[in-house]
Amino acid sequence: MKQHRLAAAVALVSLVLAGCDSQTSVELKTPAQKASYGIGLNMGKSLAQEGMDDLDSKAVALGIEDAVGKKEQKLKDDELIEAFAALQKRSEERLTKMSEEASTAGKKFLEENGKKAGVVTTASGLQYEVIKKADGPQPKATDVVTVHYEGKLIDGKVFDSSVERGSPIDLPVSGVIPGWVEGLQLMHVGEKYKLYIPSELAYGAQSPSPAIPANSVLVFDLELLGIKDPAKAEQDAAK
């Protein structure tokens, strides 16, 4: 987590903390008040995911109060820089540890999972299981497909789900993670697969979200609903 990102997050959280001694003193009636609460809530969740769950809300409020009131700051700039550097180091160490743990757990999971009946391991290392068979056509890398999916970590935690949203999505076969590119081309329309995707065929060391630790094995329940007509796909993309 970069220093400016941390500072910006703290500043946003402080907007709803400044001058508030307790939750009962805050009114959430006007759009501005509700939006202020939403900013604080979202940034608070983000900070917690970054390992900043010990942030002192009273100190945050004091800082914003001094700044708005143009009071003399209670800490020198070099003290603040040192404090941010310490938090940055702690965050990096935490992420490194999570990445190492995810890598170790993922390798063990795939090794054991590959021994299960019905699980097929391809040359790339992708593992898949056919949940529901069908005789529909198979997509090519150049196709746009309609799918329903639910993505989980190996501990079962759901990080994304079109099923929960109640709306399938259209996507280009070649425009997704490598594990999906390969898996989709194995499927027939109407089939349901469970994909077990090694980290190198997913996001690798570059996590797209705090909900997905770096080097994570991803598990997807994937249903191929259809292959879009190329002309219609172009029309939809132009809208």
Catalytic residue among 37, 84, 159, 170: 159
Is 196 considered catalytic here?
A: no
* DSSP, residue by residue, 153-182: ETTS-EEEEHHHHT--EEEEGGGS-HHHHH
Beta-bridge partners for 158: 152
Is 160 considered catalytic here?
A: yes
Catalytic residue among 37, 39, 66, 177: 177
Catalytic residue among 66, 154, 160, 170: 160
40 token code pair: 């604080």
Torsion of Cα atoms, 139 then 140 then 143 then 145, to 10°:
30
Is 177 considered catalytic here?
A: yes
Catalytic residue among 203, 212, 221, 227: 203
Is 131 considered catalytic here?
A: no
Catalytic residue among 196, 220, 221, 227: 220
CA distances from 156 to 59, 145, 153, 189 (A): 37, 26, 5, 26
∠ CA 50-55-56, nearest 5°, is 175
Is 203 considered catalytic here?
A: yes
Catalytic residue among 149, 197, 221, 227: 149
Q: Which residues are catalytic?
A: 149, 159-160, 177, 203, 220
